[in-house]
Amino acid sequence: MSLDANLEKQISNIAVIIPCYKVKSFILEVLREIGPEVSLIIIVDDACPEKSGQFILEKFDDPRLVLIEHEFNQGVGGAMISGYKRALESDCIYFVKLDGDGQMDPRQIGRITKPLRTGYADYSKGNRYFDLEQMDRIPKIRLIGNLMLSFLSKFASGYWDIFDPNNGFTSINRKTLESLPLDKVSKRYFFESDMLFRLNLLGAVVKDVPMPPKYGEEISGLNVFKSIFEFGYKHIRNFMKRVAYNYFLRDFNIASISILIGAPLLCFGLIYGLFNFVHSISLDRPTPPSSLILVSVTVISGIQLLLNFFTFDIQNTPKDSFSRSLEES
């Protein structure tokens, strides 16, 4: 059987999970645009006050449709975890997250699953920033906030080559999804970033898929600037966990030594320098040259060692498919 024939056969094994919360105005149009390549559509009514689940059952007749209703709101992550668990009970091989607010084009489902179907990736996600000609379609306030969140997510997850990591249009294959500790993944808006962190711990390959941005009259429930402060400590926590797991528990290499020595040196230099600066001002006399030299050496050495660590970390992004390695073993 040819490669194209294999891909046509595989593409019918797709399940789409749609978390629904206050999307009644958009959801029917989204559902109508889902093509025949999808064999299962899972709607997760996350205690929606608009009763979107029942509304869909009344207005959209499709044998592929499965409804999950939450008794209380669990957030987008909680809805996706419920949807993933239900989808794993089916025969589907690829699982796509599609929002119900119309910001994601269902006609792109074939494209976003292609890196998985061809074996190049374990997880793929949309990238709204690939085409610079389309950038003016993104609201400027969202663009700035998303860029800041993107850097934090890169820092925490270790996927430095991924842009727009907070994009929620994603696809994952069965073997990778089965290996994830779903009950540990964040259930609120931190879900996408936390998924990348968990995928890095598995060594899963993540690929960007260029997607045109699609914004209309929908209102996002995510305040990006508030999220920068709210998610900041979570990104730092995930970064520290990732470093501990990947560079100390599973392996110990030159990067481990660099961060082990570099971080304390930089902290010592900054704290010692600040202390001497304040002390000199209080005594109204200049800082001793020996103190200046010590601060300079420790700060510069600490920065250099941390740069060495991040250079290694950037080059250490997973490149071999996790699911393929499972098959070979």
pLDDT tens digit at each of 329 positions of the chain:
344 444 444 456 999 999 999 999 999 999 999 999 999 999 999 999 999 999 999 999 999 999 999 999 999 999 999 999 999 999 999 999 999 988 899 999 999 999 999 999 999 999 887 766 666 666 666 667 777 888 889 999 999 988 887 788 999 999 999 999 999 999 988 899 999 999 999 999 999 998 876 655 545 555 555 666 778 889 999 999 999 999 999 999 999 999 999 999 999 999 999 998 888 888 888 888 888 999 999 999 999 999 999 999 999 999 888 777 776 66
- Beta-carbon neighbour count of residue 225 at 10 Å? 12
Using DSSP, state whether 12 is helix, strand or coil: coil
Using DSSP, state whether 13 is helix, strand or coil: coil
Report in angstroms the alpha-carbon separations of 159 from 6, 59, 133, 170, 242: 30, 41, 25, 15, 11
Whole-prediction pTM? 0.87
CB within 8 A of 311, min separation 6: which ones? none
Q: Which residues pair with 206 in a beta bridge?
A: 123
